[in-house]
Copies of this chain bind each other. A is one copy, B any other.
């Protein structure tokens, strides 16, 4: 059985300037390539959407940014789960849905690498799912990282933040694989 493709928080609100500089501008194009293939082979696709409870967030339910990005919006009977914390497994029916359908293998992609993607990937791995992290279909932002707690603060480049976030997941919670390699493995 093909793995279930889980797309996390590909919402228009991430185009807002408040998130700051980002890495990997190809994340959405790479994710759209996976999505297109998953639709072609009629394999399961699950969309996760963030409904922020923070006042004024571009991802608040009342905001225009709550909408999915056009190229990554669900169609047909693709499943959508809504969350209001980082983990796609907390406060949603995602785990039960996956178990009921027998989807033991997952591919995870989305925004942002160090927050919602990392947290969801960690829980997926710890809950016993076999996870591939489509690392080049994820991206990190500079704007929500502060080092004010540190005696030795450094600027956190979004590419560094992304790379280290993936290194923390790879081999422990998931295998990090590029979209090109995932698609080669499917063909």
| Chain A residues packing against B (C-beta within 8 Å) | 85-87, 90, 114-115, 118-119, 122-123, 125-127, 135, 144-150, 152, 154, 156, 160-161, 163-168, 170-173, 175-178
The reply to whether A86 and B126 contact each other, CB–CB distance below 8 Å, is yes
Cβ–Cβ contact B164 & A156, under 8 A:
yes
Chain B residues with Cβ below 8 Å from A127 are 90
Q: CB distance A164 to B160 under 8 Å?
A: yes
Q: Tell me whether B172 and A167 are in contact (CB under 8 A).
A: no
Inter-chain contact A166/B145, CB cutoff 8 Å: no
Q: From the candidates B118, B152, B163, name the one contacting A154 in the complex (CB within 8 A).
A: B163
Complex: A20 Cα to B67 Cα, angstroms = 45
Contact of A167 among B86, B123, B156, B167 (CB under 8 A): B156
Contact A126–B163 (Cβ < 8 Å)? no
Q: Which residues of B contact A176 (CB under 8 A)?
A: 149-150
Tell me if B144 and A172 are in contact (CB < 8 A). Answer: yes
Residues in B neighbouring A126, C-beta threshold 8 A:
85-87, 90, 119
Given contact pairs A118-B168, A119-B123, enumerate 7 new A-B contacts (beta carbons under 8 Å). Answer: A90-B127, A119-B122, A144-B172, A147-B163, A152-B163, A154-B163, A164-B164
Which 9 A/B pairs are nearest by Cβ-Cβ distance? A149-B176, A85-B126, A114-B168, A164-B164, A119-B122, A90-B126, A87-B126, A145-B167, A149-B170
> How far in angstroms is the closest Cβ of chain B from A160?
7
- In the bound complex, do residue B154 and residue A115 qualify as a contact, i.e. CB atoms below 8 Å apart? no
Contact (Cβ within 8 A) A163 B150: yes
Judge whether B173 and A86 touch: CB under 8 Å: yes
A178 to B119, CA, bound (A): 24
- Distance (whole angstroms) from the CB of A176 to the closest CB of chain B: 4
Q: With a CB–CB cut-off of 8 A, which chain B residues contact A119? A: 122-123, 126, 173
